[in-house]
Amino acid sequence: MAQDSVQDVAEKAKAAAQAARDSAEQAQAFADRAQALADSAADGAGAATGIDPFVFRFAIFVLAIFVGYYVVWSVTPALHTPLMSITNAISSVIVVGALLAVGAGALASASGVATGLGFVALVLASVNIFGGFLVTQRMLAMYKKKS
């Protein structure tokens, strides 16, 4: 009786591992398609304007920095706590992506660079989440009545 349940558990574990492997392959295929679309969009923009794709992407990155700076610094103090909560939620999504990048090292086709960058992203996002919770707690403590 116990032997049957052990075999059932082993079969379920094998099925779960196969499902995880299939999901990882589908995620990799999706990431490859997304990268191809991004490359073709950058190439298309470069062909239409005569701008190098690297310069085009770098300009978008610089503009995103300026927009992010002005958005964050124009927030009123009353909205800082909800903003920190949203930032923590975004960082948690980054943690999931970083875990996928680190876990991709288990696949034969993954490079060491992807694993290394995934680990760095995981550490930095974790620090960001922890710091965000500390700042949120400190802000909420300012609203408590002192006894």
Residue type, 35: Q
Query: In angstroms, how far is CA 63 from the centroid of its own chain?
Result: 21
Note the pTM of the prediction, 2 decimals: 0.43
- DSSP string computed for 3-60: HHHHHHHHHHHHHHHHHHHHHHHHHHHHHHHHHHHHHHHHHHHHHHH---HHHHHHHH
Neighbours of 45 (CB within 10 A): 15
Q: Give domain limits for the chain.
A: 1-74, 77-147
Query: Residue 145: what pLDDT?
Result: 76
Task: Give the span between the Cα atoms of 27 and 33, in whole angstroms.
Answer: 10
Query: Residue 107: what pLDDT?
Result: 65
Q: What is the pLDDT of residues 112-135, one digit of tens each?
A: 777 788 788 888 888 888 887 887
Q: What is the pLDDT of residues 74-93, one digit of tens each?
A: 777 667 667 767 777 777 88
